[in-house]
Amino acid sequence: MKGIGKLGLIAICRLLVLPTWIAYRLEALFVDPDKAFHGASQAMSLWPGLLGEYARREFYRLTLEACSDDCCLSFGTILSKRGARIGRRVYVGTRCTLGLVTLEDDVLLASNVDVLSGGAQHRFDDLDTPVREQGGTFTRVTVGADTWIGNHAVVLADVGRRCVIGSGAVVTKPVPDESIAVGMPARPVGRRGERTPGKVGE
């Protein structure tokens, strides 16, 4: 019975998100598709509770380049790029911001984590041109499988598999597999299996 109830909830959520999906598709005919998607994502981020988690997943399964059927994207989380890829059993905490990302299987993001589209989204070298008019480059940032990223971290570069990124860290350079990295900018301070669990902040 539990499985039947879950399937029923999924079906209901798929129907509930169809108006938002249709509105997004129509808007994308007239404006930049990523801009239209971003607006729809803002709306979906405000659905509370378990219903919201299921509804967001169904919406992103309809719109993202890849989205698993067992991920969880929590309240307040906003995505800005349709090219994002969300792997299996991924958990994204509340109020996260995701750009052109790949979150591989079993990635855990705590609350208020920003995984952006690289570190060159805004050029600022020309002093005679406003920053907003100088353009930038959006690059895919990959977070490897079984990686945990703590609260308020900012990720601008790839993070390897089986890593731990401490709370408040700012990742500006690629982090090797199985690293524990902390600080601003983030730097490796150990490897998984070599430190006592729960001592990331030391």
Looking up residue 80, the CATH number of its domain turns out to be 2.160.10.10
Q: Rounded CA gap, 4 and 100, in Å?
A: 35
State which residues form the domain around 159.
2-191
> pLDDT band at 202, cuts 50/70/90?
very low
In a domain, 140, yes or no: yes
The residue type at 165:
I
- The answer to whether residues 157 and 139 touch, using CB atoms and an 8 Å cutoff, is no
In a domain, 198, yes or no: no
In a domain, 123, yes or no: yes
Q: Is the pLDDT of residue 121 over 80?
A: no
> pLDDT band at 196, cuts 50/70/90?
low
Average pLDDT, integer, range 69-85: 97
Provide the angle, in degrees to the nearest 10, between the axes of the packed helices 33-44 and 49-63: 160
In a domain, 202, yes or no: no
Overall domain count for the chain: 1
